[in-house]
Amino acid sequence: MPTDLAVIGAGPAGLAASIAAAARGVRVTLVDAAPSAGGQFYRQPATGLGARRAQALHHQWRTWTRLREGLDRHIAAGRVTHLTDHHVWNVERTSTGLTVHALSGPEQETPVAVRADAVLLATGGYERVLPFPGWTLPGVLTAGGAQAMLKGTLVVPGGRVVVAGTGPLLLPVATGLAAAGVAVAALVESAGPEDFARHAGALAAQPGKAVEGALYTARLLRHRVRILPRHTVLEAHGDDRLEAVTVAALDPAGRPRPGTARRIPCDTLAVGHGMLPHTELADTLGCRIDGVAGVAVDDEQRTDVPGVWAAGEATGIGGAALALAEGHIAGRSIAARLSGTAPDPRQWERVARSRAALRRFSTTLDGVYAPPAHWADQVDDATVVCRCEEVRAGTVREAVGRLGAGDLRTVKLLTRAGMGWCQGRICTPGVAGVAGCAPTAARSPFARPVPLDVLAREPLQEGPDAC
C-alpha cells in the first residue's frame, strides 16, 4: 500500500492526526497493536461481545462517534489503511524515508514493514506504580489495567475493590467499576483538599474539567464509595492472593500519621501513581526526549528528527482532550510539510489555544497529584521492587550503600533491576526512588520483544545494545 504517513497508535492523538491528514489528501497507514481503534480512553468492547450500549462505560461519547465516523469514511475512500493487531517494534530511517517494522498474527511473529515519508508517534503512555509491601500479590493491578479489562472485555476484577494511589485516573476508574456492579470499598488518594486549594485559581480556569471531577465525585457518593483523601496504602496482605490492604492517613510532610492505620478487606487493589509516556520508538530514532516528561516536540508537534512527528501522551501526560488537539495539529502540519509548503499556524489557532490551556491545566494537576513525599521509606528491604527479575529493595540499597553505586545505570548493572522482560518500564521509578537516584526514561532497544528469527531477517539501523 502506498503510504505518505504512517501513524503509530490509534488512540485520540493518532485518530485525530489520521483524519486531519487524510482530509488534506495524505495517504495514511494507521498501525496499532489493539484489535480495534480507540486507544486507552476510547477502548471498545470486543466485537464478539455484541455491546449495544458501550457508551455506558465511556465519557465524551459524541467525540468518539465523530472520530469513528471520520475514520470509517477515510478508510472507505481508500485514504486510510488501518492495520489492527500490529505491534511496532522499531522505526528505521533509510536513505529514502522511514520504515515502520511491526509484528502481526496471533503469535505476533509475522513481520510487516510499512514504508512512509513521515511518521507520527502517537503511542500514548502507561501507568506508573511505585512499590509497596505486597504489591506483587495477584489481585493487585494498575488502575488503568482494571479499566482496560472492564472497557475491552466487560470483565471486572473481583467483587470488592480498593482504588488507590494518586492522579486524575483514579476517579473514572472507581466510578466505572462501581457502575459495573463492583463494590468499591474505598478510593484512597494521597492528594488532599489543601493540595487542591493551593491551585484553586489554575483549576478554576478550566471550568469544564472541574465540573467533570465534581460529576465523578457525585457518582461515587451515589454508589456509597468511601473517599479517603490524603491517605495512602501502606501494605497489601495475603499469601497467594490479595485479602486486604492497610491504609493510613498522611501528615502534612507526607508521612503516615501514627495510629491511623486500618485494614480494609478486599480481593482487588487497583493502584496507580500517575502516567509515563511511551518513548522507546522515539528513543531508537534518536529523537530528543525531555527526561521522563516525554518526546520533545515544537509548536507543529515535530520532533527534532526530520520526518518524525509526535502527539498525545507520548509527548507528555495530559489526557484525551489534549491528545486530540495535538494530533489534529500534527496531522495538519504533516499534510502541509509533505506537500512541500510551510503550514500557516493561524489556521489552527483555536486548537493551539486549547492545547496551551490543557497543557497548563495538566501542569497544575502535576502539582496537585503527587505520591507521598516519603513513599520510599515505607518500602522495607524484603519488598520486591523489580517485578521481572525479583530484585528486592534491600539489594538496591546495598548496591547504593556498600557497593557505592551513584546512578541508576550502575544500580541496574549491579542488581539486574530493570533488565527483565519489561525492560525497566515498570520498575524504573520505584528503583530510582529506593536508590535515591534521579529517574530516567526506561531505555530499551526495541519497543516490543522480537523473535530472533525476525531480527536475523530484518536489516537494522542499530543492533540491540547490551542492556
Partner 1 sequence: MNPLELAGARPEPAFTVTFDDRELQALPGWTVAAALWAAGITSWRTTRRDGRPRGIFCGIGVCFDCLVTVNDRPNQRACLVAVRPGDVIRTQEGTGHAD
Ligand X SMILES: Cc1cc2nc3c(=O)[nH]c(=O)nc-3n(C[C@H](O)[C@H](O)[C@H](O)COP(=O)(O)OP(=O)(O)OC[C@H]3O[C@@H](n4cnc5c(N)ncnc54)[C@H](O)[C@@H]3O)c2cc1C
Binding residues (CB under 6 A) for ligand X: these are 8-14, 31-34, 39-41, 87-88, 122-127, 144-145, 147-148, 169, 172, 278, 312-313, 319-320, 323, 447-448
Select the binding partner of residue 53 from ligand X, partner 1, none (C-beta < 5 to 8 A, by kind). partner 1
- Integer Cα distance of 141 and 432 in angstroms: 21
Q: Where are the beta strands (DSSP E) in 95-230?
A: 97-104, 110-116, 118-121, 125-127, 140-142, 160-166, 183-189, 227-229
Q: Quick one: 233 or 365, whose CB is closer to ligand X?
A: 365
Which positions ≥6 away from 458 have C-beta within 8 Å? 90, 101, 111, 113
Distance, in Å, from the CA atom of 106 to the CA atom of 128, rounded to the nearest integer, reads 28
Nearer to ligand X, 176 or 372 (CB): 176
Residue 452, interface with partner 1 (CB under 8 A)? no
Binding site partner of 155, from partner 1, ligand X, none, Cβ cut-off 5-8 A by kind: partner 1
Of ligand X, partner 1, none, which one sits near residue 156, judging by CB under 5 to 8 A according to partner kind? partner 1
Phi first, then psi: what are they for 324, rounded to 5°? Answer: -65, -45
Q: Is 440 exposed, middle or buried (0-12, 13-18, 19+ CB in 10 A)?
A: middle
- Looking at beta carbons only, is 124 or 327 nearer to partner 1? 124
Q: How far is the CB of 322 from ligand X (least distance, A)?
A: 8
Greatest CA separation for the chain: 67
Q: Which of 14, 144, 318, 429 binds partner 1 (CB under 8 A)?
A: 144
C-alpha cell at 300: 507543529
Count of C-beta atoms within a 10 Å radius of residue 289: 22
- Applying CB under 8 A, does 323 fall inside the site for partner 1? no
Residue 153 or 347 having the CB closest to partner 1: 153
Residue 203's φ and ψ, nearest 5 degrees, are -70, -40
- Residues in CB range of 244: below 8 A, 6 or more apart: 236, 237, 238, 263, 264, 265, 266
Q: Give the Cβ contact number of residue 310 at 10 Å.
A: 32
Output the nine-digit C-alpha cell for 270: 487497583
Q: How far is the CB of 268 from partner 1 (least distance, A)?
A: 8
Selection from ligand X, partner 1, none that 35 binds (CB < 5 to 8 A by kind) is partner 1
Q: 8 touches which of partner 1, ligand X, none (CB within 5 to 8 A by kind)?
A: ligand X
Name the residue nearer to ligand X (CB basis): 4 or 32.
Answer: 32
**Smallest gap from residue 37 Cβ to ligand X (A):** 8
**Which set of grid coordinates corresponds to residue 36?**
480495534
Q: Per-residue x/- mask for partner 1, residues 32 to 71, rule CB under 8 A?
A: -x-x----x----xxxxxxxxxx-xx--------------
C-alpha cell at 42: 476510547
Query: Which of 98, 141 has the CB closer to partner 1?
Result: 141
Closest by CA position to 460, among listed 91, 5, 1: 91
Within 13 A of 337's CA, how many CA atoms are on the CB side? Answer: 20
| Partner whose footprint covers residue 138, from ligand X, partner 1, none (CB < 5 to 8 Å by kind) | partner 1
Closest CA to 102 of 118, 86, 124: 86
Instruction: Candidates 110-118, 173-181, 342-350, 397-405: pick the segment binding partner 1 (CB under 8 A).
Output: 173-181
Fill in the per-residue mask, 91 to 120: x = in contact with partner 1 (CB under 8 A), - = not in contact. Answer: ---------------xx-------------
320's contact among partner 1, ligand X, none, with CB below 5 to 8 A by partner kind, is ligand X
Binding site for partner 1 (CB under 8 A): 33, 35, 40, 45-54, 56-57, 106-107, 126-127, 136, 138-142, 144-150, 152-158, 179-181, 240-242, 387-390, 420-422, 425-426
